[in-house]
């Protein structure tokens, strides 16, 4: 019931201004629930730094011994007692710079969490950009379908007049009306696809209840890359946050080894004790000092040291694997860009003009009675296919540009902040 009320309220609200792709990206960064959850990893890492810097707590012990709680009674005959009361404190002295190494491990973990958050931001930004392109493509398809419907509406109106004048058979009018219904169905399908694309984009932006009046503004990217393939590879290894996160993890593993080596050194415990005795012979107060340390006979932290070294080798292997994957992603994105650019150039340079020319000639011939409806529909279909391919080629070229930006981690640090 509450959601229905919200939807009704939003439907009655005035239309919001169209969003640009940069506005959509910024809103997603600040409101996407998945990214907000990843952001908490940084706060958790800050808390671990605080924990790593804490020193061991002192220990306070209060005791009583030889107490006459069972009612035996202390006297000169049994010589029991005397009752004793004690207060003891102990302090642990860490050795081997364990605290400094713990802080180092926690700080490297925080830097890794920051890079992982930026990598999640990079993935989200690409998803929003692709979703935005899908909305623009759906709008282009809807415009094409409506233009076709408008053109055929005019043809139907002309044929109605021709039937009235006796220049056209009624069966031909029926055929054009059926074709008009098909174009009307195409408009309905295009509207549905546009709504689906708009809802997906709004969900990525963090809007749990999509606005029915949602609109976007802008054009698909048409710029060219100013870098070569080799330059893109170098930029990717320097900028990609997932690669930087792996480097931080490598540094963390090295700090973890130093911490585990420091853990081999035993910690001292020193303490003081005040003891009070109160018996038949009188009262007495005493003060004691204590020093203790564990004897590293069996456990010298061998297992944790070996585990830390094994994790370092594992991270090294993963780092080399990630580097190879990034190079392959750059290669794939570059091929995608080259293919999309070539296809778009071919459509703009050759196919688009020919399809428009053929449709114009057939349309004129049909209106003058020299061409059949089948020929007109075939020319219209060829024109629609060409225009749809053109719109999809523009969208694919824009996606390839955004994919390369994401693959090399372009501007992701400034976006993440």
| CATH architecture of the domain formed by 28-51+97-266+305-416 | Up-down Bundle (1.20)
Q: What is the pLDDT of residue 8?
A: 39
Does residue 297 surpass a pLDDT of 50? yes
Contact assessment for residue 82 and residue 66, using Cβ atoms and an 8 Å cutoff? yes
d(CA 335, CA 41): 36
Q: What is the pLDDT of residue 135?
A: 96
**Around Cβ 217, how many Cβ atoms within 10 Å?**
11
Contact assessment for residue 132 and residue 201, using Cβ atoms and an 8 Å cutoff? yes
Contact assessment for residue 308 and residue 260, using Cβ atoms and an 8 Å cutoff? yes
Q: What is the pLDDT of residue 289?
A: 93
**Around Cβ 120, how many Cβ atoms within 10 Å?**
20
Q: 27-46: per-residue pLDDT in tens?
A: 999 999 999 999 999 999 99
Does residue 78 surpass a pLDDT of 70? yes
Q: Which of 25, 45, 351, 358 is nearest to 205 (CA)?
A: 25
Q: 180-209: per-residue pLDDT in tens?
A: 898 899 999 999 999 999 999 999 999 988
Domain ranges of the chain: 28-51+97-266+305-416
pTM: 0.82
* 55, 67, 98, 246, 307 from 102: Cα distances, Å: 11, 45, 6, 19, 17
Contact assessment for residue 273 and residue 88, using Cβ atoms and an 8 Å cutoff? yes
CB burial of residue 339 (10 Å; 0-12, 13-18, 19+): middle
Q: What is the pLDDT of residue 372?
A: 77
Question: Residue 119 half-sphere exposure, CB side, CA atoms within 13 Å?
Answer: 15
> Which strand (E) or helix (H) includes residue 277?
strand 268-278
Contact assessment for residue 209 and residue 6, using Cβ atoms and an 8 Å cutoff? yes
**Around Cβ 75, how many Cβ atoms within 10 Å?**
10
């Amino acid at each position: 019931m509450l959601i229905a009320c919200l939807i009704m309220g939003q439907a009655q609200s005035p239309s919001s201004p169209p969003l640009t792709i940069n506005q959509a990206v910024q809103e997603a960064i600040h409101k996407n629930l998945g990214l907000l959850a990843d952001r908490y990893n940084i706060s958790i890492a800050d808390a671990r730094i605080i924990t790593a810097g804490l020193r061991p707590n002192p220990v306070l012990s209060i005791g009583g011994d030889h107490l006459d709680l069972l009612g035996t009674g202390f006297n000169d005959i049994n010589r029991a007692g005397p009752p004793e009361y004690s207060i003891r404190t102990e302090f642990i002295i860490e050795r081997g710079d364990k605290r400094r190494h713990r802080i180092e491990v926690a700080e490297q973990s925080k830097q890794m969490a920051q890079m992982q958050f930026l990598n999640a931001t990079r993935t989200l930004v690409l998803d929003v950009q692709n979703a935005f392109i899908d909305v623009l493509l759906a709008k282009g398809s809807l415009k094409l379908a409506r233009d076709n419907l408008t053109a055929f509406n005019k043809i139907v109106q002309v044929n109605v007049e021709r039937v009235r004048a006796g220049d056209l058979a009624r069966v031909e009018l029926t055929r054009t009306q059926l074709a008009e219904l098909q174009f009307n169905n195409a408009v309905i399908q295009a509207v549905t696809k546009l709504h689906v694309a708009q809802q997906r984009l709004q969900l990525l932006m963090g809007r749990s209840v999509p606005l029915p009046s949602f609109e976007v503004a802008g054009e698909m990217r048409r710029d060219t890359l100013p870098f070569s393939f080799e330059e893109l590879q170098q930029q990717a290894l320097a900028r990609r946050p997932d690669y930087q996160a792996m480097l931080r993890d490598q540094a963390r593993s090295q700090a973890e080894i130093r911490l585990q080596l420091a853990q081999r050194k035993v910690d001292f415990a020193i303490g003081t004790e005040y003891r009070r005795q109160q018996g038949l012979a009188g009262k007495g107060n005493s003060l004691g000092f204590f020093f203790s340390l564990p004897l590293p006979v069996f456990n010298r932290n061998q297992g944790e040291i070996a585990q830390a070294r094994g994790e370092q080798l594992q991270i090294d292997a993963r780092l080399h694997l990630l580097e190879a994957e990034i190079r392959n992603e750059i290669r794939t994105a570059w091929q995608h860009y080259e293919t999309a650019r070539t296809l778009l150039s071919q459509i703009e340079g050759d196919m688009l003009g020919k399809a428009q020319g053929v449709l114009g000639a057939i349309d004129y011939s049909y209106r003058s009675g020299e061409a059949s409806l089948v020929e007109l529909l075939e020319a219209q279909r060829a024109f629609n296919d060409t225009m749809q391919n053109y719109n999809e080629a523009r969208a694919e070229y824009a996606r390839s540009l955004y994919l390369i930006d994401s693959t090399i981690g372009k501007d992701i640090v400034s976006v993440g902040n």
